[in-house]
Each structure stands twice: as structure tokens, then as C-alpha cells.
Structure 1
Amino acid sequence: MSSLKSICIIDDDKIYTYGVSKIIKNYLPGNDVMSFENGKKALSAIKEMEQNNDELPDLILLDIDMPEMNGWDFLNEFQSIRDKVNKEIQIFVISSRIDQKNQEIYRVEWDQKVDDFIQKPVQVEALKDLLA
């Protein structure tokens, strides 16, 4: 049995976010799920969590194409928080625009910041594997 995790979903697609949250709650009960519609809102909330000494997420599911602050900009800004905290936070980039060729390009540039790139739609088994 996997240990419980705090999961942060950052995606502007409300239907996708609802679906992933529902899958996690149904198939992996007990995990804490929070969601934000763009990187700016997520970053603000995570900074507040850090300032209040609240537990930061264990895992972030991050979309790339979002309004206000896209996934790449979020990663750049988030790195300063990640460098300060004594916690491993996994980040999975989830996008419908990831193909094999781009994935290799992204992997070189973002290797230290991203744990993996996952194609949308995310399947139940893939989520179970991430949270195992």
C-alpha cells in the first residue's frame, strides 16, 4: 500500500482537473488533493503554505499551456521555494501537446526540475503508478 500524499494539480482545464481529482479520491482514497487554474495562483498558495510552515505538496501535476503563468514560468519561479525547503517535491508535466520528439527536448532543458512528462488524458493506472 502506498503512503498518503498531498497532490497539487495545476491546470486551467476544469473538466480535466475534476476528473483527475475524482480518480485520485475514488481509486487512491486518503490522498489530499488541491487544484489551481494557473501557475500564478498555485505559486501564491504554495508561498503562503511555506510562510505558514504548512506542509507543501508531495507531488505536482503541472500543465504547460495556461493563462497568466504557464507551466515553464511556474517551474522557474517555484525553484526558489524548492531550493529552500527540505522536502522532495515531485513534478510531473502533464500535457496533450507532449510528443516523443518534444519530450526529449524538454527532458534535456528541464531534467533537474521535472520528474517526468505524461501525455493527456492521464489514465487511472498511470496515476496509481505516480502515487505508489
Structure 2
Amino acid sequence: MKKIDVACIIDDDPIFIYSVKKLMKLANFCESFMIFNNGQEAINNLTPILESGENMPNVILLDLNMPIMDGWEFLDEFTKIKAHKEVVIYVVSSSIDPQDKNRLKTYEAVSKFIIKPINVELLAKISEELIA
């Protein structure tokens, strides 16, 4: 299976980040990953990367509920960045609120909504979708 070059995790939960990194390694999912603990940290670091087109993430796993800048605010800012290529965003949240799902439909950049937790099979499916 071909690996994704760079995956980006934006989440404030250290346990979730630790487990997803472990699962990505088990699934042979990506060559490397970027990790940000909130949307503001992600925007500050991703903006120059996206604008330059170098070492861009292929996929972002985004939590909605975070301090400082939440996932919604991140999406609003992310859509303003002029990126050199499309970055696929999967919203990964523990929210089961139907309003969240409906609101996500207004963001073209969001590919799917995934309810936590993530497993190896799901990562394999994401990898297939991205590399196909």
C-alpha cells in the first residue's frame, strides 16, 4: 500500500493524538505528521506551508471542540488561505449533534465527518480514498 506523505492532526486531546499516531504507524498510513493543539496554532503554522506549496499535508484530521480557536473557526480561516493544492479535511469529533453534521456541509473543504474513535480499518479506508 502506498503511504500518504504528510498527515496533520489538529486536536487538543493528548490521548487522542497519541493513539492516532500509534494507529497511523500500525496502518503504515503516512511518512510523517504535523500535530497542532488548536486551530490558531494550526493556522499560524500551516499558512506559510500552504502558500509556499512545500511539505503540504495531504490530509487534516480536525477536531471541532478545542480551546483558543475551535474547528469551526479554523475552517473559516483555512478557506481564506490560497493553497497550491487541495488538502483533504476529515472532521474527527466526539459530537453526535446533527446540527454539526449539517453545518459541515457548508464547507467544501470538508470531505467527511468521522465520530471518534478512529481505528486502523478507518485509516486504511481514508488512505485508499486519498491515493486512488
Shorter-chain TM-score above 0.5:
yes
Q: 1:18 to 1:115 in 2, by over 3 A?
A: same
Q: 1:31 to 1:102 in 2, by over 3 A?
A: farther
Question: How far is 1:55 from its partner?
Answer: 2.0
Instruction: Summarize deviations over 1:28-76 as a string: whole Å, max 9, x none.
Output: 1552111110000011111232455522111000000000000010011
- TM-score normalized with structure 2 length: 0.86
Aligned: 1:25 with 2:22: no
Matched ranges for 1:1-132 at <5 A = 1-28=1-28, 30-50=30-50, 53-81=53-81, 84-99=82-97, 101-102=98-99, 104-110=101-107, 112-132=108-128
Aligned length: 128
For 1:68, what is the secondary structure of its paired residue? coil
Question: How far is 1:107 from its partner?
Answer: 4.0
Distance 2:15 2:99 in 1: 25
Distance 2:53 2:86 in 1: 16
- Paired AA for residue 2 in structure 2: S
Percent sequence identity over aligned pairs: 38
Q: 1:122 to 1:2 in 2, by over 3 A?
A: same
Distance 2:117 2:30 in 1: 23
Report which of the two has the higher share of strand.
Answer: 2
> Which consecutive unaligned segments of at least 5 residues does structure 2 have?
none
Q: Is the 8 A contact 1:61 1:92 kept in 2?
A: yes
Distance 1:78 1:29 in 2: 24
Question: How far is 1:104 from its partner?
Answer: 4.4
Superposition RMSD in Å:
1.8
Distance 1:49 1:115 in 2: 21
Report which of the two has the higher share of helix.
Answer: 1
Q: Is the 8 A contact 1:98 1:118 kept in 2?
A: no
- Paired AA for residue 125 in structure 2: D
